[in-house]
């Protein structure tokens, strides 16, 4: 083996080891709270900062709402189900003495995307938007050739187009204030081209790459971006019709792979401003690590053994 070959082998091994340690480091290491949770700093007008959360009616989105209300943020809650949003907003206002506004919108619809973008631009221009959580999303199960094209196009709008548009609306005001955070909820699925979830895994990969590139552009601006990549999370996501029809059951997977929405959100908020890609849970970091280095043929063969399609 030549000296050059050995050198590159050593460099590759060192880089792989550093990457593995980064992903698998224990989460019990004590860290000071993220600056976004240390205090909710009031503006010059004495009003609280605002966090806008899409997909806020359940699951991870609702957990973001609960934790940010507890930290002292006013909220704008966005989702399709207005009754669920209203109930959550009323509860949080009573518990935490904050303002919570409801905005019913279907983010697969271009007009509704623009309505939400206009609200974001107004709040951002007013200097109050501290956090934008692009959380709205859904999944389908089935071979791409068999799925209705509209459902795949809707997914592209909700995951990708909405994230792009709302982020663009939020940035000017954040950049002027030199303060702000944007969390794009991706998935560990972004590391895997999953048969039966082709569009889902592709859009989640987009969110990871988009977030990393955007953070590189924003370095030094005071605005930070995060791609949050949860794995299996206890929420309504896997209870929806596509997964029920496919025969998917939670008990098919070992209990240790499941996290609560509260655990995912706590990890995300604590890492905001520190980690561009946040992967809650050591087991999920291992999954991402395997996705980076394992041969695709091996990954696909393993996935076919547990895939519902």
Identify which of 201, 129, 219, 216 has the alpha carbon closest to the alpha carbon of residue 166: 129
Q: What is the greatest pairwise CA distance in the chain?
A: 70
Helix (H, G, I), strand (E, B) or coil at 132: strand
Q: What is the 3-state secondary structure (H, E, C) of 225-279?
A: EEEECCCCEECCHHHCHHHHHHCCCHHHCCHHHCEEHHHHHHHHHHHCCCCCEEC
Contact 51, 89 (CB under 8 A): no
Q: How far is CA 202 from the centre of its chain?
A: 14
Out of 73, 144, 192, 200, pick the active-site residue: 200
- The two counts, helices (H) then strands (E), for the chain are 12, 9
DSSP conformational letter for 33: P
CB-count exposure of residue 275 (10 Å: 0-12, 13-18, 19+): middle
- Total residue count of the chain as it appears in this document: 309
Dist. CA 293–CA 286, nearest whole Å? 11
Phi-psi region of 133 (alpha: psi -120 to 50; beta: other; left: phi over 0): beta
CB-count exposure of residue 106 (10 Å: 0-12, 13-18, 19+): middle
Q: Is 200 an active-site residue?
A: yes
Active site residues: 200
């Amino acid at each position: 083996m030549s000296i050059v070959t050995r050198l590159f082998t050593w460099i590759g091994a060192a880089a792989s080891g550093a990457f593995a340690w980064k992903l698998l480091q224990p989460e019990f290491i004590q860290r000071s709270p993220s600056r976004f949770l240390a205090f909710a700093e009031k503006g010059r007008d004495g009003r609280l900062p605002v966090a806008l959360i899409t997909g806020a009616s359940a699951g991870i989105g609702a957990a973001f709402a609960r934790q940010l209300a507890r930290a002292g943020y006013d909220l704008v809650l966005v989702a399709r189900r207005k009754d669920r949003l209203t109930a959550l907003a009323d509860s949080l206002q009573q518990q935490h003495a904050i303002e919570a506004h409801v905005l019913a919108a279907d983010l697969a619809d271009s007009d509704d995307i623009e309505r939400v973008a206009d609200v974001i631009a107004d709040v951002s221009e007013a200097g109050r938007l501290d956090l934008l959580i692009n959380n709205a999303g859904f999944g389908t199960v089935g071979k791409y050739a068999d799925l209705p094209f509209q459902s795949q196009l809707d997914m592209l709008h909700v995951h990708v187009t909405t994230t792009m548009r709302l982020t663009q609306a939020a940035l000017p005001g954040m950049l002027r204030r030199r303060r702000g955070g944007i969390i794009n909820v991706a998935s560990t699925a972004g590391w895997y081209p999953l048969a039966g979830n082709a569009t889902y895994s592709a859009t989640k990969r987009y969110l990871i790459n988009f977030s990393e590139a955007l953070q590189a552009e924003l370095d030094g601006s005071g605005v930070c971006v995060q791609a949050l990549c949860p794995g299996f999370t206890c929420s309504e996501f896997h209870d929806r019709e596509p997964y029920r029809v496919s025969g998917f059951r939670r008990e098919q997977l070992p209990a240790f792979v499941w996290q609560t929405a509260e655990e995912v959100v706590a990890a995300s908020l604590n890492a905001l401003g520190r980690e561009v890609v946040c992967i809650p849970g050591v087991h999920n970091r291992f999954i991402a690590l395997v996705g980076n280095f394992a041969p695709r043929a091996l990954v696909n063969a393993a996935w076919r053994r547990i895939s519902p399609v």
